[in-house]
Structure 1
Amino acid sequence: MDKFAGLRAFVQVVEAGGFAAAARQMGLSRSTVNRLVIELEDALGVQLLQRSTRRVSPTVMGGAFCDRARAILADLAEAEQAVAQLQAEPKGTLRLNAPMSFGTMALAPAIAQFAAQYPDLQIQLTLEDRQIDPIAEGYDLTLRIGEPPSAASLVVQQLAQMPMLLCASPSYLIQRGEPRVPADLKAHACLHYGHFANQSEWLLQGPNSPHRLQVQGRFCANNGEVLRDGAIAGLGIVMLPEFIVSAAIASSQLQPVLRDYPPAPLMLCAIYPANRHLSVKVQRLMQVLGDRFGGDR
């Protein structure tokens, strides 16, 4: 038997107070509704309804079962809605906020591909590095790299690890020497990222144990590309996401250092309001971003 059909018929009979009313509401014949309930009772091996010529009411066991049946049917409806949403094409407007350097150097191709895939979707992308209030500013999705905000009103979902690199210009390393172990960084000029509260504290992963150390330097900026260009100009050693420095390393403008002690990776996080149902457009974009930046990492 179709147990879901039996559950629907049983709950409808209880709520309508009889088979005739339930049959009208379901658009079925009274005999069909009666058969579905009887088949459900036979399958369970219990009597769910007290039947009389005047009224139909649930038995004690039927009343308890009805509460569970309602919950099951509600879960089924929610699951069916979720599947229908996954099959639907994203439409409307998607407001997205992301860090500046990540947006220009890594995110842009993914967003362009996503926009081409869904022509009925309007995308508004804002790039900035400041801490924002996604709810107050009306963003459907916010991307951040590093320590995400902590608030009960927000959901933070980790999408991918972003590898970090330590590097400096060849001219700087010729002049100051190349660090061999993490402690050597204390004698070097280090470029700081200005949006982190612990900007002068670097965490490196060693062969045996992590190394947490305080570094110093006279150059600080709140933009990764500015820090990269400062390192290229010979201002010191910089720690940045791989996507910011990979081209400069490939062209020999920058040279990786301390390869045996890589920096701890930062997490790419998706942030969205906790009290809002996750729309199809946001789900699809998060899937694209996870596939593109997650990989095998």
Structure 2
Amino acid sequence: MLKQVTINAVPMMGDMVVPAVMHISHTMPDIQITYRSTLDMADLSDGCTIGVRAGVEPSTQEMEVSWLGRIGLALVAAPEYIAQRGKPSSPADLAQHVFASNDFSDAGTPWSRWLHEVVPTPNIVFRTDDETLLRQAIKSGRCAGFLPISSLCWSAELVEILPAREEWALPLWLVRCHNASEACVSVGAELADMMSRQLF
């Protein structure tokens, strides 16, 4: 009988989590993994769910929290977009550009705060809480947007237009309950190892 493990991760982790899940599924064929990308914090008390959370370290006595590292983000665009609007040479040039953005709330992430401080609100032409739709909008060539640096490895059609900055980085944590199942512990350890190699 297959053992069940669910990974509940904040959006924009797909480039790191999906390859890790594929590897784990191959090396641990007796474990079936479900990956959910959501801002909502899952109930981890079932012992079969792993959380990947961002921001301030989760503080709870019932959970085991492990530092993964910080995820770096860059401002990226498709070549078609750059051909039409050019590459900004400085943040001051961004007022001439349009963007897709996460709809986490204007102050939800360091890069969202920065973007809203630098560009007029009308320049943000597409907002979504779905990472797949955000990528599609950027890849359409109609707007630029923030994506994890790892996206440039997995999406050769995207070009960095402003490199990652320290102020845009976000801390990541792996969270599970203390009495997690053996399968959950094994998957969590492998996931943490693979993700931490791509973080700083």
Paired letter, 1:256: E
Q: Secondary structure of 2:87's partner?
A: coil
Larger Rg: 1
Paired letter, 2:142: L
Residue in 2 aligned with 1:188?
97
Q: Is the 8 A contact 2:11 2:129 kept in 1?
A: no
Q: Is the 8 A contact 2:73 2:169 kept in 1?
A: yes
Residue in 2 aligned with 1:239?
146
The Cα shift of 1:239 comes to 0.7
TM-score (norm 2): 0.73
In structure 1, distance between residues paired with 2:135 and 2:167:
16
Q: What are the equivalent positions in structure 2 for 1:29-48 lying under 5 Å apart?
A: none
In structure 1, distance between residues paired with 2:143 and 2:10:
24
Residue in 2 aligned with 1:78?
none
Please list every run of 5 or more consecutive structure 1 residues that lacks an aligned counterpart in the other structure: 1-90, 204-211
C-alpha distance after superposition, 1:124-154 (max 9, x if no partner): 414232313324777531123x326845354
Residue 132 of structure 1: which of 18, 34, 41 is its match?
41
The Cα shift of 1:238 comes to 0.5
**Does 1:295 pair with 2:192?**
no
The Cα shift of 1:230 comes to 1.2
Q: Is the 8 A contact 1:101 1:244 kept in 2?
A: no
Paired letter, 2:172: L
The Cα shift of 1:240 comes to 0.8
Paired letter, 1:164: L
Residue in 1 aligned with 2:87?
178
The Cα shift of 1:219 comes to 0.7
Residue 272 of structure 1: which of 170, 176, 184 is its match?
176
Q: Secondary structure of 1:180's partner?
A: coil
Residue 147 of structure 1: which of 37, 55, 73 is its match?
55
Q: Is the 8 A contact 1:92 1:122 kept in 2?
A: yes
Residue 18 of structure 2: which of 97, 108, 114 is its match?
108
Number of matched pairs: 191
Paired letter, 1:268: L
Q: Is the 8 A contact 2:4 2:48 kept in 1?
A: no
Give me the CA root mean square deviation. 3.3
Residue in 1 aligned with 2:127?
220
C-alpha distance after superposition, 1:200-234 (max 9, x if no partner): 4127xxxxxxxx93433121111223222212223
In structure 2, distance between residues paired with 1:100 and 1:127:
9
In structure 2, distance between residues paired with 1:128 and 1:257:
26
The Cα shift of 1:166 comes to 0.9
Q: Which has the higher helix share?
A: 1
Q: Which has the higher strand share?
A: 2
In structure 1, distance between residues paired with 2:73 and 2:4:
33
In structure 2, distance between residues paired with 1:263 and 1:170:
26
In structure 1, distance between residues paired with 2:70 and 2:139:
25
Q: Is the 8 A contact 1:224 1:240 kept in 2?
A: no
Paired letter, 1:284: S
Q: Secondary structure of 1:219's partner?
A: strand
Residue in 1 aligned with 2:70?
161
**Does 1:201 pair with 2:108?**
no
TM-score (norm 1): 0.53
**Quick one: structure 1 residues 108 and 168, their matched pair in 2 at CA, closer, same or farther if it must change by over 3 Å?**
closer
Question: Structure 1 vs Structure 2: percent identity of aligned residues?
Answer: 21
In structure 2, distance between residues paired with 1:255 and 1:233:
13
Q: Is the 8 A contact 2:75 2:144 kept in 1?
A: yes
Higher RCO (CA < 8 A, seq sep 6+) = 2
Q: Is the 8 A contact 2:100 2:143 kept in 1?
A: yes
